[in-house]
Structure 1
Amino acid sequence: MTVLDEIIEGVREDLAERRRVRPLEDVRAAALGSRPPIDAFEALGAGQGGSLAVIAEVKRSSPSKGALADIPDPAALAASYERGGAAVISVLTEERRFGGSLADLDAVRDAVDIPVLRKDFTVDEYQIWEARAHGADVVLLIVAALTDEQLAAFLALTHQLGMNAIVETHTEDEVRRAVAAEASIIGVNVRNLKTLEIDRGVFARLAHLVPSGTVVIAESGVRDAGDVGDYAGSGAHAVLVGEALVRHNDPAATIDAFRQAGRAARTAGAGARG
């Protein structure tokens, strides 16, 4: 089994327990009664101009690095992200490998006024209804974990609920599948899901396959402003950053520095093309 297979196996087991405790009809009712979602496409679309959007992540641990940060107060961390200029807050809710929870999502949603991404491994429509019921505005759909039929159905449900989806890709074939599904936000993750190794060059090789008008997000591998500049120079409208922020003493200042680096790279790229 790949790392992704192992994670999804655990996700399905945990989902079955949540579903037993709270049936889908109850989750649907809560979702339909929740506050209206915030448009994440619009929030990230600023990256299609001269600036670069930052999706800042509340992330305690990961399969590749283990424990990253304690994060006793995810709401306070998210608020600092918002002060730094983050466009979207990403909240890990997968428990076994990432130490996240829906309680983290609730806390963050109550603390910020910008879009919130429920970052998990979506394999069932229940999770999309659940995300909306807990106030999420965006969900993650990983192409490698879904059939084309599932991807289309989950995108349709997401749009039905007024939400956005980040459709995550890792290969040329996955980018083509995401484009065929008419995804409006496509993430290119430079981490190999089989080995967990990082290859930052993957982004430049895949980003050009995404049509104009689509928001392109660079995921994984951001260590510093230099990496952000490289991604922006290769066409990223946004970057998703977790580890580099949760391990920093001043995440707000780091986000601001990342945005400036992205803006500079995009401006330089535009000047070169002109």
Structure 2
Amino acid sequence: MFLDTITNYKKTVIENLKKAYSYQELERLALQREEVSLTKSFAEALSTPSLSLIAEVKKGSPSKGIIRHEFNHQQIAQDFEQHGASALSILTEEKFFFGNNQYLTEIQKIVTIPLLRKDFILDEIQILESKVIGADAILLIAAILNKKQISDYYSLAKSLKMDVLCEVHNQEELEMVLDTPCEIIGINNRDLKSFQVDINTTITLQRLIPKEKTIVCESGITTTEQLSKINQHNIHAVLIGEGLATNPDLLHFWTSYPI
């Protein structure tokens, strides 16, 4: 499975990170980073009455290759903020998603909205690294973690004043995540094993989530009609990456569309 390919590669990346920095070194740097004050946390940014937008700064993907051939990450981030994004998702996975830690660090200096680090987190040291490079929130993917890891990683992130988006794709993963402290649950309409997309995944699974949780719809959103459909349910935010890259006009619809 392709997900296994990604996680096996990430294990090598983690080994190299541990060779470059000790846990104690990154922990010290992460704690120093806490001094940077935020105007609004990631969780607060998603708590508006209307549907919030998490706009993804995305150069490409494994399935589509490069989707933004002219990729100015800082300009893209500023455009998203100016067009009403509540938060930004920054891809930092390099080999398969064409991301970079530096993108997040450089964007953090020029925007005022919170940043989600979008990567495949498998180890606590990556959470420390996330804080060091400027993330306000991290992604934990239920398909590659167990319940104890999610709970432990959540606690570490919160101790560093970062929020956590816990991502699920099916009912089994959702039930596991609901048995952890995670307050923000992302429902990925893309099956990470087959890469097939079905927006009804969010519609179906959101019914099983307690109302006090924050729900984020992820993947496959390309039209305002889909936004309207999503907005009819108890969903607080949408994370859009490829849809904004291939259809920039979607941003203009966002500010004018009655959602």
TM bracket (short chain): over 0.9
TM-score using structure 2 length? 0.94
- The answer for unaligned runs of 5 or more in structure 1 is 264-274
Separation of aligned partners in 2, 1:150 and 1:126? 13
**Would you identify which runs of 4 or more consecutive aligned residues in structure 1 move more than 6 Å?**
none
**Structure 1 position 41 matched with structure 2 position 61:** no
Separation of aligned partners in 1, 2:156 and 2:255? 32
**How far has the Cα of 1:70 moved from its partner?**
2.8
- Taking the TM superposition and a 5 Å limit, the aligned residue runs for 1:125-144 are 125-144=124-143
**Aligned residue in 2 for 1:235:** 234
**Aligned residue in 2 for 1:272:** none
Separation of aligned partners in 1, 2:95 and 2:70? 16
Q: Aligned pairs, how many? A: 256
Tell me the percent identity.
Answer: 32
**Aligned residue in 2 for 1:147:** 146
Separation of aligned partners in 1, 2:255 and 2:124? 34
**How far has the Cα of 1:172 moved from its partner?**
0.8
Structure 1, residues 44-76: CA drift from partner, whole Å, max 9, x if none?
Answer: 011xx2x11000001111122221113532111
Structure 1, residues 182-223: CA drift from partner, whole Å, max 9, x if none?
Answer: 211000001111110011111111011111121100000011
CA 1:14 to 1:8, structure 2 compared with 1: closer, same or farther past 3 Å? same
Report SS of the residue matched to 2:191: coil
8 A Cα contact 2:108 2:134, kept in partner: yes
The structure in which a higher percent of residues are helix is 1
- The answer for unaligned runs of 5 or more in structure 2 is none
Letter paired with 1:39: S
**Aligned residue in 1 for 2:115:** 116
TM-score using structure 1 length? 0.89
Letter paired with 2:5: E
**Aligned residue in 2 for 1:73:** 72
- Taking the TM superposition and a 5 Å limit, the aligned residue runs for 1:42-57 are 42-46=44-48, 49=49, 51-57=50-56
Separation of aligned partners in 1, 2:256 and 2:228? 9
Separation of aligned partners in 2, 1:131 and 1:54? 22
Separation of aligned partners in 1, 2:258 and 2:114? 20
Q: CA RMSD in A?
A: 1.5
**Aligned residue in 2 for 1:269:** none
- Taking the TM superposition and a 5 Å limit, the aligned residue runs for 1:79-228 are 79-228=78-227
CA 1:36 to 1:25, structure 2 compared with 1: closer, same or farther past 3 Å? farther
8 A Cα contact 2:222 2:250, kept in partner: no
**Aligned residue in 1 for 2:25:** 26
Separation of aligned partners in 1, 2:10 and 2:254? 32
With a CA cutoff of 8 Å and minimum separation of 6, indicate the structure with the bigger relative contact order: 1
Separation of aligned partners in 1, 2:258 and 2:155? 32
CA 1:236 to 1:162, structure 2 compared with 1: closer, same or farther past 3 Å? same
